[in-house]
């Protein structure tokens, strides 16, 4: 049996989505699945080499990968009036500030470029951003994953919610992450992987307690209720199907990226339906 490598982040939401595949409740054709767990910026970079058959990426990275991968309509991380936030120890003007970011290819960084005219990005691993802000190593930090929920425990203040900013600006959902299938595998394998992922997500919905328990092992010390809250923020009906509204949101994201000079042109939105 040939292997099928799937890249996703070691975070509760991705763990929840892939619970059934990881526990052999759902098969990906006749392939043996190998899970490659790395933070999202690492997966963004790895995708440039086309090493993985299927991988999660930041929506912001897709323009660099459109010739290599197709977007699956299942598996997207979508925020509705919430998303990455910028936190600091106290309120101040972000113009010209040094802001820690979780990677140059992340959607969080792209949103910051769209909504903050002038700042100095300081790339860090996503799990180093909160400690750096708390310890005063950096003026402000761009927070993704469960830090969006837990930052107040570190007595930090929310200077800008980019998900709210996006929704007020566009009245659209915010596409943050996408799951991709490599182009050279063809339509049949694209459909096989998409069906498997959709079935895996539905299985997690139907066996929520077991799937949340598994997701907790990727929660970096968060409590069960926080884990469940975070998972449900980013694994929902939008995750089952990106839909026409999700595709419109992606188009709008790339249009705005072009306006601020973050990308050169609109990528083709080749979505596996």
Q: Which residues are catalytic?
A: 145
User: Two tokens at 31?
Assistant: 């392939």
Q: Is 171 exposed, middle or buried (0-12, 13-18, 19+ CB in 10 A)?
A: exposed
Strands (E), 67-225: 69-72, 77-79, 85-88, 98-101, 120-123, 140-143, 157-161, 174-182
User: Two tokens at 226?
Assistant: 């926080």
Among residues 111, 62, 59, the alpha carbon closest in space to that of 85 is found at: 111
Instruction: Give the CA diameter of the chain.
Output: 57
Under 8 Å between Cβ of 150 and 223: no
The Cα–Cα gap between 59 and 77 comes to: 9
User: Two tokens at 37?
Assistant: 């767990």
User: Two tokens at 17?
Assistant: 């989505």
End-to-end Cα, the chain, rounded Å: 27
Return the bridge partners of 120, or none. 98
Under 8 Å between Cβ of 115 and 212: no
């Amino acid at each position: 049996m040939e292997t099928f490598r799937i890249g996703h982040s070691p975070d509760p939401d991705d763990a929840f989505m892939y619970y059934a595949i990881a526990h052999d409740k759902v098969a990906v054709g006749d392939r043996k699945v190998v899970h490659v767990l790395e933070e999202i910026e690492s997966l963004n970079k790895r995708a440039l080499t086309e090493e993985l058959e299927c991988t999660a990426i930041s929506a912001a990275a897709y323009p660099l990968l459109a010739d290599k991968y197709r977007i699956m309509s299942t598996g997207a991380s979508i925020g509705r009036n919430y998303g990455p936030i910028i936190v600091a120890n106290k309120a101040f003007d972000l113009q010209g500030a040094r802001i820690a970011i979780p990677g140059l290819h992340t959607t969080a960084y792209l949103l910051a470029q769209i909504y903050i005219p002038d700042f100095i990005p300081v790339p860090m691993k996503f799990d180093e951003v909160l400690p750096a802000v708390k310890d005063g190593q950096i003026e402000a930090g761009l927070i993704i994953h469960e830090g969006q929920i837990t930052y107040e425990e570190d007595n930090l203040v929310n200077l800008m919610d980019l998900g709210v900013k996006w929704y007020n600006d566009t009245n659209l959902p915010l596409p943050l992450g996408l799951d991709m299938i490599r182009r050279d595998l063809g339509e049949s394998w694209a459909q096989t992987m998409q069906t498997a992922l959709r079935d895996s997500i539905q299985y997690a919905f139907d066996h929520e307690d077991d799937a949340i328990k598994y997701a907790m092992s990727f929660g970096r010390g968060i409590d069960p209720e926080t884990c469940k809250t975070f998972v449900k923020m980013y694994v929902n009906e939008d995750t089952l199907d990106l839909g026409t509204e999700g595709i419109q949101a992606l188009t709008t994201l790339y249009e705005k990226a072009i306006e601020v000079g973050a990308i050169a042109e609109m990528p083709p939105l080749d979505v596996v339906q």
